Amino acid sequence: MTWLLMVAIVVVLVVGAVLYVQKRSAALKDRFGPEYDRVVEEHGDRRNAEAHLRDRTKRHDALELVELEAEARDRYAGHWTLVQGGFVDDPARAVAEADALVEHVMRERGYPVDEWDERFEMVSVDHPDLAENYRVAHAIHVRGTDEAEDVDVDDLREAFQRYRSLFDELLVLDDAEDAEDAQLDAVADRRDDEQATVPGTTNTEPLEESHRDDQP
């Protein structure tokens, strides 16, 4: 009888441990979404990946993040409009400025910004659904600064729009997307006449048409 009781206790403990691990994994999946799968693939081991995500969350929770004042939000929103308006003339520069503007907003809100990996990881805790946008946009921006890389205007447009999604979220501007869509339409009308192209490519697709196709 004692032996059977010990076996039963062991079984209960094992089942409890399994359920706990499963519940913890499910919580991480819910919190990080696609970023969870990417980190698991990157680490090649679920246990190590989950340990990394828990550590990422712990570091994030130690931050003292603040909301932007209304004046700061208006200032950044106005700056973004100016940057966006320059896309047609110099897409690469506009993307670089978008990258810098996102970094400035993050710094003012209290995120660590000195290292790209840390910046990305902290954003992924607050905005896991936009983490991939930030990662892809930054990768395109970095490629664009390498003369050996061929980055066309469609890549740059994609990067700019991905930056915009995170920028809007960081500013918490509910009507930002509608306002910026109108701005993009105005830029598109101008590009219909100018047909801006990237050296070394034959792409002359109007910004307006591609913008509409690329909308999430």
pLDDT band at 23 (very low <50, low <70, confident <90, very high): low
Sequence spans of domains, the chain: 2-61, 70-214
65-86: pLDDT as tens digits: 999 999 999 999 999 999 999 9
d(C-alpha 48, C-alpha 36), whole Å:
12
What are the CB-based long-range contacts (under 8 Å, 24+) for 172-178? 172/67, 172/68, 172/73, 173/73, 173/77, 176/77
- Per-residue pLDDT at 212: 38
Least confident range of 38-52, 100-114, 125-139, 183-197: 183-197
Quickly list DSSP for 103-163. HHHHHHHT---SSHHHHHHHHHHH-HHHHHHHHHHHHHHHHHT-TTS---HHHHHHHHHHH
25-67: pLDDT as tens digits: 777 788 787 888 889 888 888 889 999 999 999 999 999 999 9
Please work out, in degrees rounded to the nearest 5, the angle formed at the alpha carbon of residue 99 by the alpha carbons of 79 and 55: 125
